[in-house]
Amino acid sequence: MSHRRLPPLLGMLFRSVTTVKRKPAKDRHLIQLPPSHEYNDIKLDLTHLAKYKAMFPALKGTLPLTYFYLLAQRAQLAMMLDSKFPFAIPGLVHVSNRMAFAHQTEPDTRFSVSISARLDPEAKDGTERIIFEMTFMQHSQVVVRNTSVYFARTKKPSHSHDSVRSKTTTRQEKALIDVHLSKTWNLEANVGRQYAHLSGDYNPIHLHKYLSRGFGFKQPIIHGMYLQALTQGAIEDKLGREVTMMDIHFKKPVMIPNRVKLSVSEPSNHQFQLRSGNLCELHLEGGYGLSQTSSP
């Protein structure tokens, strides 16, 4: 299915509420997902790109890797709104994301985007994991790949959203990595609203405690991709090279206001963790790749 433009995010967020009554087939072998979508002639808003880089000044590249997720999210939500998508959007949880440059990008050149969705065949009974795979192309060449994984529960949950990503985190499942560099941030209460204004993601769980409580969170939670951009910027700033790949797993939401600490291993290991300020709770972890040359 081919489209000329990516729909704006805010309008799609409002429409997503209408999907709450969706119910997938009980037999997972009968679940069908929409066909692939394609978007052509996409031009980047360079003014918006400048605002993004102003929010994350440590990012080194002309076109940062994490910026592409702002486009990827719109394509994913558009596919979720397809009448053939069987899951309720408000019940989906973003659990992991992998982004990588394939070739040099040109901010002034128009992009085309393709997206497809499939189910993880290894999902456990009562749950589904929907895998969205995207490619960004310029001059008929793939320049960026993005894979996003969402969790969907097909049976009534016995716990809150907080435990979906953290059911193993509560066991302190992973030790602290050997730290090569670290960075600490104090996240203010309004940072969710600031990033929402930039990204267009006005999901109520990010905006105010009175709104987030209606979705099972005592406090608003910060966008996972905001944390990914902070992480990318800190790595680039400390190591002096542009990040060309990020593979991130969201373990537990970060409520705001809060204090978080990033730990990055030796460059040869390419691993990172983001934990609470006291290091007791693991919020996200993953790996990264770097360019061969230093950034200016």
What pLDDT is attached to residue 171? Answer: 41
pLDDT < 70 regions, the chain: 125, 155-175, 177, 295-296
Rounded to whole angstroms, the Cα distance separating 272 from 253 reads 17
The number of C-alpha atoms within 13 Å of 114 and in the hemisphere containing its C-beta is 11
Q: Please give the order of strands across the beta sheet that includes 141-153.
A: 2-3, 37-42, 111-119, 127-138, 141-153, 93-101, 241-250, 282-294, 271-276, 258-264, 181-187
Displacement of CA 22 from its chain's centroid (Å): 23
What pLDDT is attached to residue 165? Answer: 53
Output the average pLDDT for the chain: 88
What pLDDT is attached to residue 214? Answer: 78
Name which of 255, 174, 199 is nearest 9 in CA terms. Answer: 199
- Classify residue 255 by its DSSP letter: B
Residue pLDDT, tens place only, 200-240: 888 888 888 888 887 788 899 999 999 999 999 999 999 99
Rounded to whole angstroms, the Cα distance separating 166 from 251 reads 5
What residue spans define the domains of the chain?
2-294
2-294 CATH fold:
Thiol Ester Dehydrase; Chain A (3.10.129)
What is the reported pTM? Answer: 0.88
